[in-house]
Amino acid sequence: MRVAVDAMGGDHAPAHIVEGAVQAAREGSVPLLLVGPREEVEAELERYADAGALDIEVADAPVVLGMDEPPTRVLRSKRDASICVAVQAATAGGADAVFSAGHSGASVIAALSGFGLLPGIDRPALATTLPTISGAAILLDAGANVECRPLHLVQFAFLGAAYARAALGLQSPRVALLSIGEEASKGNDLIREAHRQLKGTELNFCGNIEADDLYRGQADVIVCDGFTGNVALKVSEGMVEAIEQLLHEELSRNLSTRFGALLWRPAFDRFRQRVDYAEYGAAPVLGVRGVCLVGHGRSSARAVRNGVLLAARFAGDDLAGRVGRDLAAAAMPVAPV
């Protein structure tokens, strides 16, 4: 399963992207299609002595989309941007999956326009995997749709449940809405109406959960609009950073805690790998007829490696096909009920 990697995505592109992709090719035997300005990408590849022996092709994409450019530009003036060329390769048979650590909005739009939507789905959603105290949970939408209607949230619930069955192997994933109170009456108009609609579906809908329950493992699929989902993820990221700094301050206060810190540091680093969104991997674009994973813009080479391996696994498992068949078999509402 060849993975097309957008070599220009992310804060450390192309260096960290190529480094992580090469690691995935080397350690996971993943054939690659690296997409970006050919000379720049090939110069990066030359830094790895074994690159020539790995199954790595390069596709030229001379245009780079800046992080501050509107994502819809990939539909108009920037159809030769690396993310678009990567998706085109996947639709034309030159690759089986796409990974990008860049501009998530542009990646979602490129995947939507290149792969097309699954039947019954009006909007693609980004599905992040959160570490919980008891395992993992899927949060969607993580930022693809800032304005949602209740039916979109219902569709995200079905998408998330299908993904949890396909990717986490759960038979009957517990689906919840993210709200500001557990009662059906709590939340904004969007959540209250989505709650009402979800109650009538075949999903294992367990109601609303509050944001302090996100990490407690009380649900397998947590549904919200992309604005709320993005805020929830980013708060978590900022919190990990603040905690690291504040704990460091507390631990530096005296000699015994400084000594404690020496012992504690490796534990914190392992912990950080478990919870840090930038480290934790990549989020699939759900609802499209193809596999496209979006990594964090700050992804390290290791996170890129993990994201590329996951993209190859999802392509091998036919994730998009399985999610599509799951939806086709489901009694998903097609209009507000």
Where on the chain is the footprint of its own copies (CB under 8 A)? 68, 70, 131-133, 143, 146-147, 178, 180, 183, 185, 187-189, 191, 210-216, 226-228, 230-243, 245-247, 250-251, 253, 256-257, 259-264, 266-268, 270-271, 274-275
For residues 221 and 174, is the Cβ–Cβ distance under 8 A?
Answer: yes
The position carrying tokens 């993580």 is: 142
Q: In a 3-state reduction of DSSP, which class is residue 335?
A: coil
Q: In terms of CB distance, is 43 or 235 closer to its own copies?
A: 235
Q: 337: Cβ–Cβ under 8 A, 6 or more apart, which residues?
A: 197, 200
Please state the closest distance from residue 220 (CB atom) to its own copies, in A: 16
Other CB atoms within 10 Å distance of the CB of residue 325: 14
For residues 278 and 300, is the Cβ–Cβ distance under 8 A?
Answer: yes
Q: Which residues pair with 4 in a beta bridge?
A: 33, 98
First to last CA, the chain: 41
Q: In terms of CB distance, is 29 or 134 closer to its own copies?
A: 134
Phi, psi (deg, nearest 5) at residue 91: -80, -25
* Dist CA 118 CA 225 (whole Å): 19
Q: In terms of CB distance, is 29 or 245 closer to its own copies?
A: 245
Q: In terms of CB distance, is 172 or 245 closer to its own copies?
A: 245
Q: In terms of CB distance, is 155 or 230 closer to its own copies?
A: 230
Q: 259: Cβ–Cβ under 8 A, 6 or more apart, which residues?
A: none
Q: Which residues of 158-196 are buried (b: 16+ CB within 10 A; e: fewer)?
A: bbbbbbbbbbeebeebbbbbbbeeeeeeebeebbbbbbe
- Cα angle for residues 38, 23, 85 (degrees, 5° grid): 35
Q: In terms of CB distance, is 147 or 202 closer to its own copies?
A: 147
Please state the closest distance from residue 116 (CB atom) to its own copies, in A: 26
Please state the closest distance from residue 213 (CB atom) to its own copies, in A: 6
- Show the tokens assigned to 199: 């109650």
Please state the closest distance from residue 255 (CB atom) to its own copies, in A: 10
Phi, psi (deg, nearest 5) at residue 134: -105, 0
Please state the closest distance from residue 120 (CB atom) to its own copies, in A: 25
Q: In terms of CB distance, is 80 or 237 closer to its own copies?
A: 237
Q: In terms of CB distance, is 170 or 247 closer to its own copies?
A: 247
Please state the closest distance from residue 222 (CB atom) to its own copies, in A: 11
Please state the closest distance from residue 295 (CB atom) to its own copies, in A: 16
